[in-house]
Amino acid sequence: MHDEPAHLPVLLDRVLELFAPALADRDAVLVDTTLGLGGHADALLSAHPALHLIGLDRDPRALERSRTRLARHGERARLVHAVYDQLPGVLAELGLSRVDGVLMDLGVSSMQLDEVERGFAYARDAPLDMRMDASRGITAAEVLNTYPVPELTRILREYGEERFAHRIAKAVAAEREREPFARSERLVRLLYDTVPAPSRRTGGHPAKRTFQALRIEVNGELDTLRAAVPAAIDALAAGGRIVVESYHSLEDRIVKRAFAERASSRTPEGLPVELPGHGPELRLLTRGAEKAGEREIEHNPRASSVRLRAAERIGVAA
């Protein structure tokens, strides 16, 4: 199954290159906060025989698949059912105060897209679920059937960057009065009918932005990320590295701001020396956000929207 294009880890060589200085030739610990199918984790464990990896995922099915894939690494791989903003608690339970690396590969996984019944993919009819952890939380159908028009408009506009958010929200409200939404095919038909034809011709599939917005809302993705990035930076030892792969501008903006804030001095301007504890905590390892090359995108279409940022911890408070 790992030979399928959808299951290839994105920017794998670059991820290995960025982590190498922090992991090579030592008993290092790395947290893969979004384990998915374990592609990055498998490669990192293979590249560094002394590495211990902690793999987090909110999706129990992903953990099952990764447990099989990583079994050959034995006790060097420890898998935990958790959302990535729970990183501080997970490390505390494991008795760890600092780690040498943190990887975040954000967004929906190829496995979730491939499992039709999860409702993530607009191309195939399925129940409108979209929960990454199907054991808890609100479904996409519940969002569509219960949110007031202004709130639905806000979600579509902010999380989907949808120009026709209010028009779609009003159409959803009218349609749910007739019959509550349950499956994706009906929503896709409504979106085709609601989004103007010129936009359909130039803006990609009319369902893409709405499905993205619903998925982000159902899983609380942006709020989770806002909490998770600072927590991950705090967990890094001196010389430790964080690598984040984002797949849309909203995620990338959060990562960019968090990195920039921690890479800047907090000493007031005009002072001749750096105040103790006020210096930069991070050194940026990428100039802006790095993208995948044409060859990788050709073999792995998921890489087309990736934006990678990386940083190294240089200042660690006592």
Annotated binding residues, as ranges?
38-40, 57, 84, 105, 112
Query: Percentages helix, strand, coil for the chain, rounded to the nearest 5?
Result: 50, 15, 35
Q: Is the Cα torsion angle 38, 42, 106, 10 positive or negative in sign? A: negative
Q: State the chain's maximal CA–CA distance in angstroms.
A: 69
CA–CA dist 137, 131 (Å, integer): 7
- φ and ψ of 255, to 5 deg: -65, -45
Q: State how far the alpha carbon of 167 is from the alpha carbons of 142, 156, 278, in Å.
A: 19, 10, 48
State the burial class of residue 4 (Cβ atoms within 10 Å of its Cβ: 0-12, 13-18, 19+): exposed
Q: Which segments of the chain are extended strands (E)?
A: 29-32, 52-57, 77-81, 99-105, 236-246, 282-284, 307-313
CB atoms within 10 A of CB 27: 10
Residues that constitute the known binding site for S-adenosyl-L-methionine: 38-40, 57, 84, 105, 112
Q: Order across the sheet with 307-313: list the strands.
A: 77-81, 52-57, 29-32, 99-105, 236-246, 307-313, 282-284
Structural contact between residues 163 and 217, judged by C-beta atoms closer than 8 angstroms? no
**Which amino acid would we find at residue 188?**
V
Structural contact between residues 181 and 169, judged by C-beta atoms closer than 8 angstroms? no
CA 241 to chain centre: 17
CA–CA dist 200, 44 (Å, integer): 41
